[in-house]
Amino acid sequence: MSVPFDPRPLHEPVSPATARAFRKHLAETGRLPGGSGTAGVIIAIVVVGFVVLVFGGILTTVIGGLVLAAGTRSGTGAALSLMTVIPLVILVALATLIPFFVRRQRAAQAAVWYRLDRFARANGMTFEPQRPQPPLPGMIFAQGSSRMASNLVRGDRPRFVEFGNYRYTTGSGKNQQTHTWGYVAVHLSTPLPHIVLDAVGNNGLFGSNLPVAFDRDQHLSLEGDFDRYFRLYCPRGYERDALYLFTPDIMARFVDNAAALDVEIVDDWLFFYGKRDFSTLDPATWSWLFGAVGAMIDKLAQWERWRDDRLAAPAVTAPPAASAASALPVSPPPGLLRPPAGVAVPGQRLKKTVPWVAVIIVLGVVAVGAIGPVIAFIGGVLSATR
């Protein structure tokens, strides 16, 4: 992101012909998402089905009234003919509109892709429409099924950064739910301990909005008013390491630029999360995200100097009775005295826990729902014994 921020392509006019040509280009270069027209077809079919049901019900009622009002054999025959012909005409008319709906949906989607592609190029980045099952280690990427990242905008200067939207589903049947996230992934040059900053400002009535709950004994309180904005979790035994990484100046940058975002450091990645789309046609959103990432990038070199002392090789010492002649012939290279890049196993992942607040709420709802039938049953028994 060394080039000046240029949001103009996000709102530039795009003709249908240009959108169709760009969609064709995506297909020819292998960048067109598989089955991307399925959503349009499904929407069109749902619309057609809904309209047919509504109009069919209205027509049946009206024509039935005509049959009753006519009261003659000829009137009944005419009404029955209408009952056959009119729904058929409506079905044929609506069926011809399905290709129109599909083309319209595809053109609108292609126009969004075209603008985002132009925006990415204008800002020294690249664009990819979709990527199923993104191979990222962040907490949101291991949840549910039907995992899909979309509208991916990537840059590699001064380091790799990816902006995207993300969807996954949980549950099944009537309980199926689609979860919407926006994320920014920043690649680091060295692994760091697993640390999560749960933003206080975006939590809900029942606590954190994160898809994973962490053991409370991993919470680390930091100085100043940082705890007003973030709840920091780090693995047990890595408190000093977290204090090394989150110096006062870095804490200030998080508060000033990312207080509305959840943050995760895992392996050699830094993630920013939000429960809404990030990669959109809104210049204000892009300006905010670019500012948040830019505020942190020049501080990441300090993080990448961190080393896990737990990976240090044990010191080599001579036996107590050894003489100078039996000492090591050479001294170990100075570089070996510093631990290698990496994180010991205890610091690689935070320990998860059960979100007890949500469990208690669900149990309470179930209990309240069961009270009515139980009372009715007891009332019936008492009535029967009288």
Q: What is the pLDDT of residues 269-280, one digit of tens each?
A: 999 999 999 999
DSSP one-letter code for 68? H
**CA atoms of 125 and 65, how far apart (whole Å):** 65
User: Are residues 189 and 57 part of one domain?
Assistant: no
User: Are residues 137 and 31 part of one domain?
Assistant: no
Give the pairing of strands 145-155 and 161-170: antiparallel
CA angle 261, 281, 170 (to 5 degrees): 55
**CA atoms of 68 and 109, how far apart (whole Å):** 50
User: Are residues 56 and 162 part of one domain?
Assistant: no
pTM surpassing 0.85?
no
pLDDT exceeds cutoff 60 at 149:
yes
User: Are residues 195 and 100 part of one domain?
Assistant: no
Of 281, 310, 339, the domain-final residue: 310
Of 104, 122, 140, the domain-final residue: 122
Helix (H, G, I), strand (E, B) or coil at 228: helix
Helix (H, G, I), strand (E, B) or coil at 180: strand
Residues 76-99 as b/e (b if ≥16 CB within 10 A, e otherwise) read eeebeeebeebbeebeeebeeebe
DSSP one-letter code for 37? T
> Of 77-86, 106-115, 346-355, which range is least confident?
77-86
357 in any annotated domain: no
Residues 185-224 as b/e (b if ≥16 CB within 10 A, e otherwise) read bbebebbbbbbbbbbeebeeeeebebbebbeeebebeeee
User: Are residues 111 and 137 part of one domain?
Assistant: no
Mean per-residue pLDDT, 52-65: 61
User: Are residues 13 and 66 part of one domain?
Assistant: yes
Please name the residue that has the structure tokens 């008319």.
Answer: 93
DSSP one-letter code for 275? S
Of 69, 98, 122, the domain-final residue: 122
DSSP one-letter code for 224? T
358 in any annotated domain: no
69 in any annotated domain: yes
User: Are residues 212 and 71 part of one domain?
Assistant: no
The pLDDT assigned to 104 comes to 79
Domain enclosing residue 220, as ranges: 128-310
User: Are residues 141 and 118 part of one domain?
Assistant: no
Bond prior to 158 in cis (omega within 30° of 0) = yes
* Ranges 22-26, 35-39, 44-48, 324-328, most confident: 22-26
The pLDDT assigned to 107 comes to 87
In three-state form (DSSP H/G/I as H, E/B as E, the rest C), the secondary structure along 71-129 is CCHHHHHHHHHHHHHHHHHHHHHHHHHHHHHHHHHHHHHHHHHHHHHHHHHHCCCEEEE
262 and 216 Cβ atoms separated by less than 8 Å: no
The closest alpha carbon to 147, from 163, 132, 130, belongs to: 132
Tell me how long the chain is.
386
**CA atoms of 200 and 206, how far apart (whole Å):** 12
Domain count, the chain: 2
User: Are residues 167 and 142 part of one domain?
Assistant: yes
User: Are residues 110 and 90 part of one domain?
Assistant: yes
User: Are residues 132 and 106 part of one domain?
Assistant: no
13 in any annotated domain: yes
The closest alpha carbon to 7, from 334, 288, 308, 235, belongs to: 288
The pLDDT assigned to 101 comes to 73
Q: What is the pLDDT of residues 332-342, one digit of tens each?
A: 555 446 789 99
In Å, how far are 96, 233, 236 from 239, measured between CA atoms?
Answer: 65, 9, 7
186 in any annotated domain: yes
Q: How many CB atoms lie within 10 A of CB 20?
A: 16
67 in any annotated domain: yes
User: Are residues 208 and 100 part of one domain?
Assistant: no
Q: What is the pLDDT of residues 151-162, one digit of tens each?
A: 999 999 889 999
Q: pLDDT band at 204, cuts 50/70/90?
A: confident
Strand-pairing partners, residue 154, are 126, 162
Q: pLDDT band at 95, cuts 50/70/90?
A: low
386 in any annotated domain: no
The pLDDT assigned to 111 comes to 96
366 in any annotated domain: no
pLDDT exceeds cutoff 50 at 366:
no
The pLDDT assigned to 203 comes to 92
- Residue 165 has φ and ψ, to the nearest 5°, of -105, 155
